[in-house]
């Protein structure tokens, strides 16, 4: 089937409805996924957003356990999970370098990897039996974002305690959810980065002000120029192994003792 024909069928399903206020199947999926994550606001911070993502993912798919893998430098970390067993299973993937979340993060392509029976999975000879030993027998992972340039942000990992326990999950819906989740996560990261920059800027302004006060005190009391006063503060800071801002703050607060 050509891509054009597939798109035409999707479009027809999207608008397939006999009622003016009803949604077609594809539109319903978008609405459902959007509603699932609408509570995960970027300003709530990355940890809360991740918690809401795994909770929504579990509710939508019916998976027994869900976790989020994020890239951590050259490695991986489990940033959130609905059950601690997911962290144990994920750790096996990180240690062995094999498994769906690793492949969904670093492999080119759609960013979707699945297995219905982990105990007998030849692709992952170490991870598969180890996960089954933890009571997890089926899995799939979706990259964050799917189809973006690799390596991706990470992956969403879905586990079932039953062989074939995830066969009912709609792959397209899971991939659409991954796009939503990745967008919300990126938004939360951007908000945190902006807040950090604002905090650093405020700290820099406060430091400049208190250092300026200390310089003024030295200029007044010792008849120093601005450059001489700053050099005195800098040299004293190094000799005492005290941060320049802290030294300046102490000097300003004890002005009457000088």
Burial pattern 229-239, b for ≥16 Cβ within 10 A else e, equals bbebbeeebee
Number of domains composing the chain:
3
Quick check: 218 and 248 in contact, CB under 8 A? no
- Mean pLDDT for the stretch of residues 11-32: 54
Domain boundary among 189, 218, 237: 189
Residues, the chain, total? 258
Residues 163 and 176 both lie in one domain: yes
| Lowest-confidence segment of 13-22, 131-140, 201-210, 230-239 by average pLDDT | 13-22
CATH number, position 250: 1.10.10.10
Residues 153 and 214 both lie in one domain: no
Residues 150 and 79 both lie in one domain: yes
pLDDT score, position 2: 65
Instruction: Give the pLDDT band (50/70/90) at residue 32.
Output: low
Residues 83 and 169 both lie in one domain: yes
pLDDT score, position 23: 46
Residues 57 and 176 both lie in one domain: yes
Q: Which H helix or E strand runs over 64?
A: none
Residues 63 and 184 both lie in one domain: yes
Domain boundary among 138, 159, 189: 189
CATH number, position 64: 3.30.450.40
pLDDT score, position 173: 84
* Long-range contact set of residues 151-154: C-beta below 8 Å, sequence gap at least 24: 151/71, 151/105, 151/106, 152/71, 152/104, 152/105, 152/106, 152/111, 152/182, 153/70, 153/71, 153/105, 153/182, 153/185, 153/186, 154/68, 154/69, 154/70, 154/71, 154/76, 154/79, 154/101, 154/105
Residues 180 and 59 both lie in one domain: yes
What is the rounded CA–CA span in Å between residue 251 and residue 201?
A: 23
Instruction: Give the pLDDT band (50/70/90) at residue 4.
Output: low
Range of the domain at 87: 44-189
Residues 15 and 78 both lie in one domain: no
What is the rounded CA–CA span in Å between residue 258 and residue 256?
A: 6
- Mean pLDDT for the stretch of residues 238-251: 80
Sign of the dihedral defined by the CA atoms of residues 34, 37, 38, 44, in that order: negative
Domain boundary among 137, 169, 189: 189
pLDDT score, position 60: 87
Alpha helices (H) in the chain, listed in sequence order = 3-14, 25-37, 46-61, 84-96, 100-106, 127-133, 171-222, 226-240, 244-253
| Lowest-confidence segment of 12-21, 46-55, 61-70, 163-172 by average pLDDT | 12-21
- Mean pLDDT for the stretch of residues 225-253: 80
Instruction: Give the pLDDT band (50/70/90) at residue 236.
Output: confident
pLDDT score, position 258: 56
Quick check: 123 and 115 in contact, CB under 8 A? yes
What is the rounded CA–CA span in Å between residue 140 and residue 89?
A: 13
**pLDDT for 166 beyond 70:** yes
Question: CA angle 153-156-160, nearest 5°?
Answer: 160
Residues 19 and 102 both lie in one domain: no
pLDDT tens digits for range 58-89:
988 999 999 999 998 889 999 999 999 999 99
pLDDT score, position 19: 47
Residues 207 and 139 both lie in one domain: no
- The pTM assigned to this predicted structure is 0.66
Burial pattern 95-130, b for ≥16 Cβ within 10 A else e, equals eeebbbbbbbbbbeeebbbbbbebeebeebeebbeb
pLDDT tens digits for range 52-63:
889 989 988 999
Residues 56 and 122 both lie in one domain: yes
pLDDT tens digits for range 95-149:
999 999 999 999 988 899 999 999 999 999 999 999 999 999 999 999 998 777 7
Residues 60 and 159 both lie in one domain: yes
SS3 204: helix
């Amino acid at each position: 089937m050509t891509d054009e024909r597939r798109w035409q069928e999707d479009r027809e399903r999207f608008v397939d409805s006999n009622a003016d206020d009803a949604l077609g199947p594809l539109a319903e999926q978008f609405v459902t996924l959007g509603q699932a994550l609408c509570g995960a606001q970027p300003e709530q911070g990355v940890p809360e957003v991740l918690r809401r993502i795994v909770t929504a993912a579990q509710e939508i798919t019916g998976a027994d356990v869900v976790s989020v893998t994020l890239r951590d430098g050259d490695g991986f970390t489990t940033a959130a999970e609905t059950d601690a067993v997911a962290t144990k299973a994920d750790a096996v993937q990180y240690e062995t370098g094999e498994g769906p979340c690793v492949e969904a993060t670093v492999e080119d392509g759609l960013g979707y990897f699945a297995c219905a029976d982990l105990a007998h999975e030849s692709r992952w000879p170490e991870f598969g039996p180890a996960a089954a030993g933890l009571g997890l027998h089926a899995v799939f992972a979706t990259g964050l974002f799917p189809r973006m340039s690799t390596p991706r942000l990470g992956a969403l990992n879905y586990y079932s305690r039953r062989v074939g326990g995830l066969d009912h999950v709609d792959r397209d819906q899971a991939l659409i959810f991954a796009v939503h989740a990745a967008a919300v996560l990126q938004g939360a990261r951007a908000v945190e980065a902006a807040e950090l920059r604002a905090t650093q800027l405020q700290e820099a302004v406060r430091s400049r002000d208190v250092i300026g006060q200390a310089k003024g005190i030295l200029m007044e009391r010792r008849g120093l120029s601005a450059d001489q006063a700053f050099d005195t503060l800098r040299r004293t800071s190094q000799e005492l192994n005290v941060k320049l801002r802290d030294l300046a703050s102490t000097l300003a607060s004890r002005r009457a003792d000088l």
